[in-house]
């Protein structure tokens, strides 16, 4: 594994999880102690690891998870606007992933199953409040809505795949996912 090449200045990187499970973020943290090397050459902007609530101008954005509600679409657009390079990370971002299993189902039917007929449910009703963002009737992959520069497959992509992506982009070359880094589970 090569160490990241030191760029002229620290690159700003933002990450977010939309309709995902955080597993992709966990796999990124699975670079383990290489995290400290990475932090020498990048600065984190908005990310679940920081307290920055909005994305500033960034060199790179990593987006985990697909789009299942209006809020997801909003955050994705913010990331596209602010990030020079945007990467769809993991199966959910690339295809909708497991949450897209609900695409063949009627949303109303799902709501009833969960909130009206769940076996231990009392005060059965369907949540409905202006604070809750609108669910989309279908779960969409990111590239349905914005231009995506790179796709990193896997559920989640392995830590080594993240490392190749990041070190390549930091060095200004095109990432090459060789044997063993291209996975789909």
Q: Name the residue nearer to other proteins (CB basis): 172 or 180.
A: 180
Task: Report helix, strand or coil for 123.
Answer: coil
Q: Supply the minimum distance, in Å, between the C-beta of residue 151 and other proteins.
A: 14
For 86-116, the DSSP string reads: EEEEHHHHHH-TGGGGGGGS-HHHHHIIIII
Q: Supply the minimum distance, in Å, between the C-beta of residue 34 and other proteins.
A: 9
Task: Indicate which of other proteins, ligand SF4, none lies near residue 129 (CB less than 5 to 8 Å, by partner kind).
Answer: other proteins
Task: Indicate which of ligand SF4, other proteins, none lies near residue 9 (CB less than 5 to 8 Å, by partner kind).
Answer: none
Q: Supply the minimum distance, in Å, between the C-beta of residue 91 and ligand SF4.
A: 4
Q: Name the residue nearer to ligand SF4 (CB basis): 32 or 131.
A: 32
Q: Name the residue nearer to ligand SF4 (CB basis): 98 or 171.
A: 98
Which of 24, 37, 27, 60 minimizes the C-alpha distance to 160? 27
Which residues have a Cβ under 8 Å from the Cβ of 12 and sit 6 or more positions away? Answer: 42, 43, 44, 45, 56, 57, 58, 59, 60
């Amino acid at each position: 594994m090569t160490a990241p090449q030191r760029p002229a200045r620290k690159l700003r990187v933002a990450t977010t999880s939309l309709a995902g499970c955080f597993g992709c973020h966990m796999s990124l943290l699975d670079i383990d102690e290489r995290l400290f090397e990475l932090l020498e050459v990048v600065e984190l902007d908005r990310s679940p690891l920081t307290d920055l609530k909005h994305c500033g101008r960034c060199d790179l954005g990593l987006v985990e998870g697909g789009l299942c509600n209006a809020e997801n679409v909003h955050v994705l657009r913010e990331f596209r606007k602010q990030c020079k390079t945007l990467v769809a990370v993991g199966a959910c971002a690339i295809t909708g992933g497991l949450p897209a299993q609900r695409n063949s189902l009627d949303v109303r039917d799902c709501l009833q199953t969960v909130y009206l007929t769940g076996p231990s449910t009392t005060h059965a009703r369907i949540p409905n409040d202006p604070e809750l963002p609108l669910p989309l009737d279908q779960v969409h992959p990111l590239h349905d809505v914005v231009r995506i520069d790179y796709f990193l497959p896997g559920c989640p992509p392995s830590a080594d795949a993240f490392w190749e992506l990041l070190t390549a982009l930091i060095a200004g070359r095109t990432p090459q996912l060789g044997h063993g880094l291209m996975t789909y589970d």
